[in-house]
Structure 1
Amino acid sequence: MLAAGCTLPGFDRGGDNNRRGPASTAGAPDWKPCPDIPRKLVGRGAANMRYDCATIAVPGDWNATTGKATGDGSNLEIALLRVRSSKQQNRIGSLLINPGGPGGSGIDSAVYLSFGPSFGGLPDDVTRRFDIIGFDPRGVSRSSPVKCISDADLDSTFGYEPDPESQASFDGLVALNRRIGETCGDRYGERLRLFSTEQAARDMDAIRTAVGDEKLNYLGFSYGTLLGATYAQLFPRNVRALVLDGAVDPRQDLIAGSESQAKGFERAFDNFTNWCARTPRDCPIAPDARAAVTEALDKAQASPVRGEGGREATAGWVFYAVISSLYTESGWEKLAAAIESLRGGNPKGVFDLADAYAERDAEGHYTNLFDANLAVNCADDESRPGVDRIRALQSQWRTKYPLFGAPLAVGMLSCEFWPAQRDPYPTGAAVGAPPIVVVGTTGDPATPYEQTAKLADMLGVGRVLTWEGEGHTAYPQTRCITDAVDAYLVDLKVPAEGERCPAR
């Protein structure tokens, strides 16, 4: 499985922006109170916030319609959640949210962001001026979800040897990916191509018109930057303000994107190990954290520790615990503690980290995050490197990126056996769009900082805002970033060219 936040390649369609015309005007949403959603997610709703839910119907295939949802059974349902503050005043419009993935739930993210700055949520300046609209993109969670990977196959995928060196082990991973592709193809057939990023971007314009906004305001994280960039190319004149945080370079191909992630995670892991060496009181696996993690992976491969219910902490689960911990700087202490506990025969910390990443519950059931992740990535991806090429890169990247190179190489097997036609997204300028803020974090593992300027340059109207921090995405983690983004969203004040924000 490729790490969430990665993307797969597209190609330049000649810059024919908005070539199929605007999306249809969906009927006004029939909003109904839904306080049960925040209660289920976090136990309560945020103070002074109201939660309402609705669905809109969109064409299953925007390329095959006149831009209107039909009654022939081909529509898809897009689930929406609106958060509105009781202190709202001088309303600007709606702010559409996408958390990335692909496969992440925008509804869940809107709930979390509604809790305000004290809990890592959106600033009051934003919630007072906008309705916050979370949506689950097509195929995700509550929006005509795609579900075709069994819990057993997901357990096998995440638990599999991260770097299958022997031919037999590598062939086993090939067979697992082939089976997943065939199962999803049998269940959905050619409908799998409809879960592409471009189709989802057209859904976003239907949401914009449905909620009554003349122009779109959008906050996209990680993969959400690719989704937002696609929207900007298709509907440049429908943009008011777009914030793209954790930028993806849409022009990189599958191999380049996977190697970029390997390099990004390796750099983030080095930052973690340096932190361990500097702060040994907070890092029980200091002074050599890399050696401790490598040893944990080797031991898990040879003799995995058994946890509650006999579940084995294989090298795959240890590896995904490492991946999970690098998404936030606060995860570093958890990783160090988990590896130290694993040394003592307790794998709970490893499972907690890995399960949070995989969205696996205590009973071993998964959400459809990675079903949707696979469906979107494979619909977007036109390239197939081939099994032999992937095998060769596994060996090469093992040397260049010792911990992450080989796993990211074999991760490219995921789409190798995908049966459906592909629908690559456009990769050109957003001609006619206003300035778009593209935020990058220098220590980002999943969407490495080098991609930030590339996305801004491709769009032609991008303005880079840099956070010299750690982890995946920046807003609204620090005052400097928060102030700059808020000024742009509220007052359309574009950050200064080359503006940088310190880590603290």
Structure 2
Amino acid sequence: MARPPRHAVGAAQRPRSSARLVALLCLVVALAGCTVGPSERPPVAVRGENVPAAPGQPTPTAEPVLPEPEPQRATIPFFECTEDTLVTLVEPVPADRQLQVDCGDLTVPADPDQPSRGAVTLGVIRVGEAGAPADRPPLLVLGDSTREPSTRHAAILAGQVDPALLQHYTLVGIDRRGAGEDILHCAPDDARAALVDADAGATGEADLALLLERARAVVQECNLTLDGGLGSYRTAASAADVELLRAALGVERLSAVGVGDGAAALAMWARSAPRSVGRLVLDGPPHPTQDEPDLTDTRAAAAEAALGAFGVACSARPDCPLGPDPRATVASLLAQLERRPLVTTDGSRLTAGATVTALLSGLGEPRRWPALAAALAAANAGDPVPMLTILAPLTGPRGLFDGMLATSCNDTQRRLAPGEIAEVAQRWTGAYPTFGATLALRLLACAPWPTGREARLTGQAEAAPPILVIGTAADPRGALDGSRRTADSLATARFISWQGAGTGAYPRTSCISGVVDAMLLDGVMPDSGTLCPP
């Protein structure tokens, strides 16, 4: 596709919205070294006009040239599926864009490490401007395993990004293993329910032994269903899928945005195939080497921080249905549900464990916080249906829970014995009162699981172009420090952070959007350490 010529940092002129002009001004200030407070603090991207340049700063050195996005020459047989896809979205597509959606699939080895095990089919989607050239450069979107399938995530993102991005890229989503076309739904219903509904206070020897038996039933049934292929549902396998997708899209270098463990998969891909990397954004990747129970420990702390942000956001509204202290209301509700779950007329039960599961999912998407607050308030008033509706995509028929569990267990090495989990639950109950005990019991779900294959850090992707890594202060899927450690482990990475909440910072805030769009569209990288306000 013909594109205007650019100099080293790609500063081609194009129409921009006023929001993007402000965001790019913020980025220029950050690149100039503007700081707030003592000099040891990181650069802060501020919003406003007529911001003076910091005096006495040296001229920035020449930036490495990011690869130009390449036209795609896809060999995947796509077919149009616009109406069928867009009708399923919770939020309608904004009026400022007309989208076209194409669907296809990609056949990949069932287990990249054991090609003899056969193949699986993963759903692939392309979302772009209606009438756009078919060879418009692809931008891969790879979501977190606890959220909607990546194909759906790409369609949602197309309705949220700056329209300028859609003028230069076609968003491409590929489903993670265990989701979408390759949905993993193998656990016995009663065993899955036992793991979800586990009583956070039941940590005695007999209670844990019974829960362990339920976990064994999940492993046994899923292993039979998958003919021993349980270990293929792991983040490292998704990294291998990305390289196969790049080849199928017909580009030498693939630009991509990954969220959560989708970002972890892209980081693994960058290490294994650094010369295949285009403009790469890793949004909220978890710690690259942490194992259990430390990994869940940091996630419990991050979830408590996200709950705090949720409470502040709700109580700032005059119509907050959770009252002046939302955290106390949630604590009271969980205590009530531990004593007596709510039961619907069809026999469905809302337990404390199920409510925590719904909370962990809902806190990752701030756009849905008002609906989450209303559902919690309804449960507090005795109506469990809204909370069960939030829970259904996770634990209902063809839900995400089995795939989430498989990925989580396969991505870790250490398995904890019931006695160790009881000690962890006691310790975390005090440190993380809302999520600690429940997340400790979830560790028992992996106890009978085959030991995950160790995913060693193979190099630092030294041959890759500059990589942008984003951390979020209150991401319920992982601590900000884990994202920072990912950046530290990649030779060319630049790390920025957002003082907000949710799983994935892009494009939730104009500051982060300005930085990411400047990279993807103009090839401009921020200073490492840039800080975006809430």
- TM-score in same-fold range (> 0.5): yes
Query: For residue 125 of structure 1, what is the aligned residue in structure 2?
Result: 164
CA distance in 1, matches of 2:74, 2:521: 27
- Written as runs of structure 1 = structure 2, the 5 A alignment for 1:390-409 is 390-409=421-440
Name the SS for the 2:113 alignment partner.
helix
2:398 to 357, 366, 369: 366
CA deviation profile, 1:157-177 (whole Å, cap 9, x unmatched): 323323423443333322211
CA distance in 2, matches of 1:219, 1:289: 33
CA distance in 1, matches of 2:435, 2:117: 44
Query: For residue 453 of structure 2, what is the aligned residue in structure 1?
Result: 423
CA deviation profile, 1:400-450 (whole Å, cap 9, x unmatched): 21221111111111221114x632323241121111111111122222212
Query: For residue 510 of structure 2, what is the aligned residue in structure 1?
Result: 479
Query: For residue 337 of structure 1, what is the aligned residue in structure 2?
Result: 374
Query: For residue 281 of structure 1, what is the aligned residue in structure 2?
Result: 318
Shift of 1:137: 2.5
Report if the CA contact (8 A) 1:151-1:366 is conserved.
no
Change (3 A) 1:343 1:195: closer
Name the SS for the 1:82 alignment partner.
strand
Shift of 1:330: 4.3
Report if the CA contact (8 A) 2:187-2:217 is conserved.
no
Q: Which amino acid aligns with 2:398?
A: Y
Query: For residue 488 of structure 2, what is the aligned residue in structure 1?
Result: 457
CA distance in 2, matches of 1:476, 1:45: 15
Change (3 A) 1:475 1:85: same
- Written as runs of structure 1 = structure 2, the 5 A alignment for 1:82-481 is 82-86=126-130, 88=132, 93-101=137-145, 104-115=148-159, 121-143=160-182, 145-275=183-313, 279=316, 281-356=318-393, 358=394, 360=396, 365-367=397-399, 369-419=400-450, 422-427=452-457, 428-481=459-512
Q: Which amino acid aligns with 1:229?
A: A
Query: For residue 75 of structure 2, what is the aligned residue in structure 1?
Result: 28
CA distance in 2, matches of 1:195, 1:311: 29
Deviates more, 1:148-157 or 1:75-84: 148-157
Change (3 A) 1:467 1:58: same
CA distance in 1, matches of 2:498, 2:526: 13
Report if the CA contact (8 A) 2:353-2:438 is conserved.
no
Q: Which amino acid aligns with 1:182?
A: Q
Report if the CA contact (8 A) 2:100-2:131 is conserved.
no
Report if the CA contact (8 A) 2:143-2:263 is conserved.
no
Report if the CA contact (8 A) 1:225-1:246 is conserved.
yes
Shift of 1:461: 1.8
Shift of 1:347: 1.9
Name the SS for the 1:251 alignment partner.
coil
CA distance in 1, matches of 2:93, 2:110: 33
TM-score (norm 1): 0.84
Segments of structure 2 that go 5 or more residues without pairing to the other structure are 1-72
Name the SS for the 2:377 alignment partner.
helix
CA deviation profile, 1:304-352 (whole Å, cap 9, x unmatched): 2333423222222332333233223344444443333333322233223
Change (3 A) 1:98 1:265: same
CA distance in 2, matches of 1:61, 1:314: 36
Q: Which amino acid aligns with 2:335?
A: D
Change (3 A) 1:257 1:126: same
Q: Which amino acid aligns with 2:264?
A: L
Shift of 1:283: 2.7
Change (3 A) 1:146 1:339: closer
Name the SS for the 2:239 alignment partner.
helix
Q: Which amino acid aligns with 1:487?
A: A
Report if the CA contact (8 A) 1:98-1:104 is conserved.
no
Shift of 1:226: 0.6
Aligned residues: 458
- Aligned-residue sequence identity (percent) comes to 28
Report if the CA contact (8 A) 1:269-1:326 is conserved.
yes
Report if the CA contact (8 A) 1:304-1:314 is conserved.
yes
Shift of 1:499: 1.6
Name the SS for the 1:231 alignment partner.
helix
Matched, 1:494 2:528: no
CA distance in 2, matches of 1:110, 1:259: 30
Report if the CA contact (8 A) 1:101-1:224 is conserved.
yes
Report if the CA contact (8 A) 2:111-2:237 is conserved.
yes
CA deviation profile, 1:21-72 (whole Å, cap 9, x unmatched): xxxxx9821122223531452398885322222223223333345xxxxxx8
Name the SS for the 2:506 alignment partner.
coil
Report if the CA contact (8 A) 2:139-2:255 is conserved.
yes
CA distance in 2, matches of 1:204, 1:134: 10
CA distance in 2, matches of 1:341, 1:265: 22
Report if the CA contact (8 A) 2:473-2:500 is conserved.
yes
Deviates more, 1:468-477 or 1:159-168: 159-168
Name the SS for the 1:258 alignment partner.
helix
Report if the CA contact (8 A) 1:81-1:135 is conserved.
yes
Query: For residue 109 of structure 2, what is the aligned residue in structure 1?
Result: 59
CA distance in 2, matches of 1:105, 1:90: 24
CA distance in 2, matches of 1:50, 1:335: 31
Report if the CA contact (8 A) 1:89-1:128 is conserved.
no
Name the SS for the 2:528 alignment partner.
coil
Change (3 A) 1:399 1:249: same
Deviates more, 1:223-232 or 1:283-292: 283-292
Segments of structure 1 that go 5 or more residues without pairing to the other structure are 1-25, 66-71, 116-120
Name the SS for the 2:346 alignment partner.
helix
